[in-house]
């Protein structure tokens, strides 16, 4: 099999993995009904200390109006809050509310649980191979990552 065929096969397998994963009986955490962009904003609001609308615009490559709408909808659902930055009161920080933190915590716990179940099915050699391949994928993905640190 040539390289292009292998890449197509990997893409098809990834798509099948997603389809199977998403058809798994999921608990109510996924009844939250958020768009992909809203999930991303909520995840970042939980995991970043200085999340601002401007940093979201840069990271997502979208307009301020788009980010404002995303944040506004999440605020309306009680999942995020805006607060003045103590260092610069002109800047509003976006932070997850306790409810938003719980949604991300539950989603992360489910992800860890499912991954653990799936990895248990692999023998030691397959686990070692999976770890090497995942390490390589992380290394490659870092080269494509957008630098989103303030001041960079």
Chain segment 18-35, per-residue pLDDT in tens = 888 777 766 666 677 888
What is the model's pLDDT at position 138?
Answer: 94
Q: Could you tell me the residue ranges of all domains in the chain?
A: 29-144
| 46-71 residues labelled b (16+ CB within 10 A) or e (exposed) | bebeebbbebbbebbeeeeeebeebb
Q: Which of 30, 37, 28, 31 is nearest to 72 (CA)?
A: 37
Global pTM exceeds 0.95: no
**What is the fold, at CATH topology level, of the domain defined by 29-144?**
Arc Repressor Mutant, subunit A (1.10.10)
């Amino acid at each position: 099999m040539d390289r292009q065929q292998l890449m197509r096969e990997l893409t098809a397998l990834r798509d099948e993995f997603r389809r199977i994963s998403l058809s798994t009986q999921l608990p109510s955490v996924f009844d939250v009904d958020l768009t992909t962009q809203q999930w991303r904003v909520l995840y970042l609001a939980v995991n970043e200390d200085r999340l601002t609308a401007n940093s979201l615009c840069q990271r997502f490559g979208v307009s301020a109006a788009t980010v404002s709408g995303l944040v506004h909808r999440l605020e309306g659902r009680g999942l995020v809050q805006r607060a003045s930055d103590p260092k610069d009161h002109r800047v509003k920080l976006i932070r997850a509310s306790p409810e938003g933190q719980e949604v991300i915590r539950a989603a992360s716990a489910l992800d860890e649980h499912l991954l653990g179940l799936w990895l248990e099915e692999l023998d030691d050699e397959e686990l070692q191979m999976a770890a090497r391949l995942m390490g390589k994928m992380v290394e490659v993905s870092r080269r494509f990552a957008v630098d989103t640190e303030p001041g960079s």
